[in-house]
Amino acid sequence: MASSLIRVAAPLLVGVAAGIGAIVGASLTRERKHLELETGPRPLAVEGWWSSDASSSLAHAHPAVLIVDADTAQLVDSWDRRTRGRVQRPVVRRTPEWPAGGLIVVDAATGDLLTVVGEAGRAGMPAT
């Protein structure tokens, strides 16, 4: 009687253990894929500290930025380091500190001027 019970229960226990292992393995694989960093769908209009993965005080203080044409206040591009993608629903807020022309990088949340891009000697440097 005991041997027939073992013959039935043993395969069932092995099947349950295999099923649990498969579920745990699939969830770990799904989480690992979710955590992997992916590149953006297209390159940014201009690259700089705002588009890197390296830690910096500026990048942590301003994780989401907008690249704007200061002449027209038109959005050229955006980047959010937290999501490694474009800023969702970006809003351009012109401030008095903006230069008259050129490409600029501004904080997506506040509109603060962070960098003037393309100006001689200041490309990629924080605005002062």
Straight-line distance from the first to the last Cα atom of the chain, in angstroms, rounded to the nearest whole number: 86
Residue 56 lies in a domain: yes
At residue 42, the pLDDT reads 66
Q: What 3-state class would DSSP assign to 52? A: coil
How far is the C-alpha of 104 from the C-alpha of 41, rounded, in Å?
A: 22
Are residues 24 and 78 part of one domain? no
Range of the domain at 108: 49-117
Residue 85 lies in a domain: yes
Residues 31/37, Cβ–Cβ less than 8 Å: no
Q: What 3-state class would DSSP assign to 32? A: helix
Are residues 67 and 99 part of one domain? yes
Taking the model in full, what pTM does it have? 0.57
How far is the C-alpha of 6 from the C-alpha of 12, rounded, in Å?
A: 10
Residue 125 lies in a domain: no
12-21 confidence digits (pLDDT tens): 666 766 667 6
42-64 confidence digits (pLDDT tens): 677 777 777 765 566 677 788 89
Are residues 25 and 54 part of one domain? no
